[in-house]
Amino acid sequence: MAGVIPSVLAVFAPARQASYGSDTLRGVKSRNVTTALLGFGMSTGPFADTSSLDDQAALVISHDAFGRSQALDRLFRFLVSCAREGRAPKEIEIAREVFDKEAEDDASIRVHVHRLRRKLDEFYAGPGADFPSRLALPKGGYRLIVVPREVVEAVTLDVKLSWHRSWTIGTTLLLIVAIPGTWWLARQPDAAEAPLATARASRLWSPIVEGERRIALVVGDYYIFGERNRDGDVSRLVREFDVNSSRDLEVRASARGDDARDVIDLGLAYLPVGVGNALRVVVPVVRRNARTEVLSFVIPASKLTPEQLKLTNIVYLGYLSGLGSLRDPLFSGSRFGIGSSYDEIVDRATGRRFLAGSHLDAGTDTPTRDYALIAGFKGVGGNQIVVIGGTRDAALMQAADFATRPETLNQLTRAIGGAEEFEALLAVESLRGVGLRAHLVWAGPRRATKWDGPPQVFPDSSPGATANQASSSGSP
């Protein structure tokens, strides 16, 4: 499918500055600056300019690039001191001097170094984007170097409208499974195009596929951190509702008085199983319009940038609890709200409550009921946003199916009339987590979306949040 998997291009870099020698980088394939730097051999040889190193280090520290992570701050300062001496420290030295450990082969050291590389990349893609040079920590060693901006510009980085370089292991594995299926479906004969063309012309999909904007397929993901045992090894992977980023993890540890070594950011996230099936049925609809292929890409909700939120047409696929930065805009104009948990949807106009039951009766042979929301509304930049969100996997999968079949799309179109912004609530019958069928409970116009309104209250946004608090955020 054109555009879903971005091309990784070979880069032929110009000659380096004299202080680094005269070799050139040829044929480097990378989406990451620090990986590409290996081709320059910059991890060896005497450091040319310690004043530039100190200036760069001061900039990084003054901008609070590591947040509240004291471990990363100690590691960074130690590597700066080593680079100032013109040497690359060994792993055992880092373990002793920074983390007060004696183990020579400690995976946590490499995890922290990985996090440091990532934080440096994030800093120089944000606050440090206009600096003429940058600090980098090339893989294969532990030596900080100063890199001229010409080197950085030689590496192809499409950070605004391409795959984010921090794809997690779980996300990548799921997409490896999901994308080949959608590619196969997209290549089928023209007989399959008739229902797809009907779906594209519907009120739900035509604003998304028409026009010149790229389409971001945003998938709801969840942050996971690790817990260490007494020996310092990671013994458990943990998902907590109020910990959704490395910064949240640092706040949690600080608030609870935990030893910083008890928990660790592993750079991991996971996607619900239902996202793969939802991608399989939605991608063929959005891959083209009536005239040509449509450029699209897939990105986790946690990595959706403000620029993408403003400039691209967006299709969200995931749980209602995984909306990320789309959550407040969706519910600011919605008739519906979240109740005491994300398994409960509240009709704020009537007070009626819809409680999903698949998680309660997952092991029985009795069919149960889940719920899903489908919404279409305008983004802050005049772009179009479609949300297909379910309480659980069965709801998500059936909602994606409902939103792509001509007969059910006709039902939706008749119910919403000529409304430019609209939404629908679906009830889904399921058995042991498998959706059986979906029917329309309610559909109609939405209120105007509030992009600058106050944050709303959700079950995971503050202790003891209730359905009444959720309802108090506004009513139609």
Cα 301 → chain centroid: 4
The residues that bridge with 439 in the sheet, in sequence order, are 427
pLDDT in tens, 251-295: 887 777 655 568 888 888 899 999 999 999 999 999 887 777 787
pLDDT in tens, 370-381: 999 999 999 999
Does residue 471 surpass a pLDDT of 60?
Answer: no
* Burial class for 251, CB neighbours closer than 10 Å (0-12, 13-18, 19+): middle
Q: Which of 143-157, 214-228, 294-308, 380-394 has the lowest mean pLDDT?
A: 143-157
The residues that bridge with 386 in the sheet, in sequence order, are 315, 376
> How far, in Å, CA of 130 to CA of 415, rounded?
50
The residue-averaged pLDDT of 27-36 equals 38
Instruction: Tell me the three-class secondary structure of 283-331, residue by residue.
Output: HHHHCECCCCECCEEEEEHHHCCHHHHHHCEEEEEEEHHHCHHHHHHHH
Does residue 445 surpass a pLDDT of 80?
Answer: yes
What is the 8-class DSSP label of residue 448?
P
Contact between 275 and 308 under an 8 Å Cβ cutoff? The reply is no
> How far, in Å, CA of 336 to CA of 206, rounded?
24
> How far, in Å, CA of 254 to CA of 248, rounded?
10
Q: What is the pLDDT of residue 257?
A: 67
Q: How far is CA 263 from CA 5, 187, 228, 230, 376, in A?
A: 34, 46, 6, 11, 40
Cβ neighbours of residue 319 closer than 8 Å, sequence gap 6 or more: 220, 272, 274, 342, 389, 390, 391, 392, 396
Residue of 119, 131, 116 lying closest to 55 (CA atoms):
131
Residue of 330, 326, 342, 334 lying closest to 475 (CA atoms):
334
Tokens of 74: 């100690």
* Burial class for 188, CB neighbours closer than 10 Å (0-12, 13-18, 19+): exposed
Strand pairing report for 336-338 and 344-347 = antiparallel
Does residue 176 surpass a pLDDT of 60?
Answer: no
pLDDT in tens, 49-86: 556 888 888 889 888 888 878 888 899 999 999 998 88
The residue-averaged pLDDT of 349-359 equals 86
> How far, in Å, CA of 20 to CA of 35, rounded?
17
Give, in degrees to the nearest 5, the angle at Cα 128 between 33 and 219.
Answer: 65
* Burial class for 418, CB neighbours closer than 10 Å (0-12, 13-18, 19+): exposed
Q: What is the pLDDT of residue 360?
A: 55
pLDDT in tens, 404-435: 999 999 999 999 988 999 999 999 988 777 77
Question: What is the pLDDT of the chain when averaged over all its residues?
Answer: 76
**Dihedral sign from CA coordinates of 56, 61, 64, 69:** positive
Q: Which residue has the tokens 């789309």?
A: 326
Residue of 426, 434, 271, 440 lying closest to 361 (CA atoms):
434
Q: What is the reported pTM?
A: 0.58
Q: Which residue has the tokens 């889904």?
A: 428
